[in-house]
Amino acid sequence: MNFQNVKIIVIRIFRQLRRDKRTLGLMIIGPILVTFLFSYAFAGEVKNVPIAIANQDESFEDILASVIIDEMRKNESFNINEIRDLNVNWSEFGKSIQTIIIFPENFTRNLLIGGNVTLQVWINVSLQYYATLISNFISSAVNDVMQDYFGAIGISFDFNTTIQQHILPPVDMDQKLNITIVNLDSSFEIVFGDLIVSKLASDDDVSVSIVKTREDCIDAIKKRKSIVSLWIPSNFTKSLLLRNGSVTEIFINGIERDEVSVALKSIQNAISDSISEILNISSYEITKNYIYGSEDLLMIDLIGPSVMGFISMFFAFIISGVFFLRERLQGTLERMLASPLMKTEIIFGYLIAFLIVATIQSTLVVLTIIFFSTRIISSLLFIYILVLLCTMGSVSLAIFISSFMKTELQVIQMIPIYIVPQIFLSGMFISLRVLPEVLVPIAYVFPLTYYVSAAKAIAFMNASLTDVWLELSVLIGYFILGLILSIKGFRKTVA
């Protein structure tokens, strides 16, 4: 192939474009306009957003009454006798038993969910001194435990005190006081993590997959299996009950903005529903970690790389298709084929001309995006490479397809067949994961699908060209296919 010949064709195409003011205008204003429109106009309905959950939550196992009793046992001045039912030996009350405490059923539960809890205490002693000693002892043990668990939360006591006025025998200061405690309390059995998982599982907007650990959650995002993943650690229920603030974490692929907002809403609802059923808490703050993208990504950031490819693909296809059709119809192709030119030189002339056009258009798109946000700049080099690949496939395919066309209108008719489906199916706006199943195979027929996948990976996931080798090979494959087909298409030209 003689590059000189290719250059001659490139120069000639640019001369023609320069003359065709309308096409020229379209090629310059089009990308800017489309970038704006796409950035603002699109917001689709999203269903079945894939989310991953690692639920390591454990129940709140402590029985607070028992904790208090254990605390009391530490003081050796008292004999603690714990019984599990109401069979208290009341006949010994005031004799060998000085104090009876009853921890009611649901003592722990009521404390945890913030209800009013009153502890009933009966005291029957011979001296006021003992009564004071005992009530101080009980309230300090209870308050210590309350302090441990809940911080400030207190508990009210219902003391029933009887003082038997015996003067004799004298006070035996070493006497051990006997306290009988009725402990009817049981643990709090609800695991909030389980509630949240079951609520999300029944939510149509998301589709849940269960993973094991926090690392698995991050992995699910990185491997693009999930859009959002939720990690519920083992102390979730406990920290909730004890009002210790947020411990769950959410990991987010911020590139799929619509899906993320749906998933976040579902998760937020599941959590607050689960909590508010039982606890008197209305909102719960979750820590959000953006694995890719960020919360403040603009729509124009997200769409930008995809739009660059789309614009180039679109214009390269339509304009080179029409141009090549004209070459055939007006007979200049026949003249070129009769000249010393080789067929590949003709195609490469077209390719290079439209690669230059695509570069200019991409730059216009980039400038439009940069006006709003500079995020795209860091990955531009690789994205340009992708754009050029996408354009090469588009031009060669257009040259091939134009050999079946008889009028320019027929080329325009390719727009609804070839261009418009790619807007919706390429993953530019609607992720392939949420497409109806029947459409997915169609999506994978279109080259733009591979471009969008690679461009998003490069722009937002720090991927390099080697990470997107599959997409690159498919795009190169489209180009080679188009090249072979278009050379074959030449045969039809003069026949």
Partner 1 sequence: MKNTFDFAVETEKLTKTFGKIKAVDSVSLKIRRGEIFGLIGPNGAGKTTFIRLLIGLLRPDSGNGRILGCPIDALTPEVKRKIGYMPQSKSLYPDLTAKENIEFFARLNGLLDKEIRRKYIENVIKLVEIEKWANMVVSELSGGTQQRVSLACAIVHDPDLLLLDEPTVGISPNLRKSFWNYFKSLTERGKTIIVTTHYLEEAINCDRIALMHNGKILAMGTISEIMSLLPRGKSLLLKLGRRIEKKTIEILKSFFDVSVTIIGELNIKIGYSDDSIVGDVISFLKKNGIPIESVEIRMPSLDDVFIYLIRRQNENIFSEV
Radius of gyration of the CA atoms of the chain, in A: 38
Residue 15 engages partner 1 in binding (rule: CB under 8 A):
yes
Could you identify the residue written with the tokens 């619509």?
A: 258
Residue 407 engages partner 1 in binding (rule: CB under 8 A):
no
Alpha helices in 279-431 (DSSP H): 299-329, 332-338, 343-372, 380-402, 408-412, 414, 420-425
Among 198, 339, 407, 473, binds partner 1 (CB under 8 A): 339
CB of 349 to partner 1, least distance (A): 10
Residue 488 engages partner 1 in binding (rule: CB under 8 A):
no
| Residue 82 or 408 with smaller CB distance to partner 1 | 408
Q: Checking DSSP bridges between strand 99-103 and strand 118-125, what pairing results, if any?
A: antiparallel
CA–CA dist 244, 76 (Å, integer): 33
| Of the candidates 313, 451, 458, the residue with the CA atom closest to the CA atom of residue 375 | 458
* Binding-site string for partner 1 from residue 34 to residue 53, where x marks contact by CB under 8 A and - marks none: --------------------
| Residue 169 or 340 with smaller CB distance to partner 1 | 340
* Binding-site string for partner 1 from residue 420 to residue 459, where x marks contact by CB under 8 A and - marks none: ----------------------------------------
| Residue 12 or 243 with smaller CB distance to partner 1 | 12
Among 167, 409, 438, 495, binds partner 1 (CB under 8 A): 495
Alpha helices in 74-222 (DSSP H): 107-112, 128-150, 192-201, 214-222
| Residue 95 or 488 with smaller CB distance to partner 1 | 488
- In this structure, what are the phi and psi dihedrals at residue 284, rounded to the nearest 5 degrees? -140, 120
CA–CA dist 123, 134 (Å, integer): 8
| Kind plus residue range of the DSSP H or E element containing 178 | strand 177-183
Judged on CB neighbours under 10 Å (0-12, 13-18, 19+), 86 is exposed
Residue 26 engages partner 1 in binding (rule: CB under 8 A):
no
Choose one: 13-21, 92-100, 237-245, 406-414; the region binding partner 1 (CB under 8 A).
13-21
| Residue 338 or 438 with smaller CB distance to partner 1 | 338
Amino acid at 106: N
Residue 22 engages partner 1 in binding (rule: CB under 8 A):
no
* Contact present, 421 and 446 (Cβ < 8 Å): yes
Among 338, 409, 417, 438, binds partner 1 (CB under 8 A): 338
State the helix-helix crossing angle for 64-73 and 128-150, rounded to 10 degrees: 130
| Residue 95 or 335 with smaller CB distance to partner 1 | 335
CA–CA dist 347, 191 (Å, integer): 67
Which two structure tokens, joined as six digits, stand for 217?
């959650």
CB of 340 to partner 1, least distance (A): 4
Among 74, 166, 335, 492, binds partner 1 (CB under 8 A): 335
Choose one: 5-13, 136-144, 160-168, 278-286; the region binding partner 1 (CB under 8 A).
5-13
Residue 337 engages partner 1 in binding (rule: CB under 8 A):
yes
| Residue 95 or 491 with smaller CB distance to partner 1 | 491
- Give CA angle at 373 (40, 253), nearest 5°: 75
CA–CA dist 238, 206 (Å, integer): 27
Residue 492 engages partner 1 in binding (rule: CB under 8 A):
no
CA–CA dist 115, 393 (Å, integer): 69
* Contact present, 478 and 397 (Cβ < 8 Å): yes
Among 63, 184, 279, 342, binds partner 1 (CB under 8 A): 342
CB of 493 to partner 1, least distance (A): 8
Choose one: 12-20, 157-165, 276-284, 434-442; the region binding partner 1 (CB under 8 A).
12-20
Total number of residues shown for the chain = 495
CA–CA dist 156, 147 (Å, integer): 14
Among 160, 213, 294, 330, binds partner 1 (CB under 8 A): 330
Choose one: 54-62, 125-133, 258-266, 330-338; the region binding partner 1 (CB under 8 A).
330-338
Choose one: 8-16, 156-164, 230-238, 385-393; the region binding partner 1 (CB under 8 A).
8-16
Residue 336 engages partner 1 in binding (rule: CB under 8 A):
yes
| Residue 22 or 223 with smaller CB distance to partner 1 | 22
| Residue 15 or 73 with smaller CB distance to partner 1 | 15
Total site size for partner 1, rule CB under 8 A: 22
| Residue 147 or 332 with smaller CB distance to partner 1 | 332
Residue 25 engages partner 1 in binding (rule: CB under 8 A):
no
Judged on CB neighbours under 10 Å (0-12, 13-18, 19+), 42 is middle
- In this structure, what are the phi and psi dihedrals at residue 213, rounded to the nearest 5 degrees? -125, 175
| Kind plus residue range of the DSSP H or E element containing 159 | strand 156-163
User: Which residues contact partner 1 (rule: CB under 8 A)?
Assistant: 4-5, 8, 12, 15-16, 19-20, 330-332, 334-342, 494-495
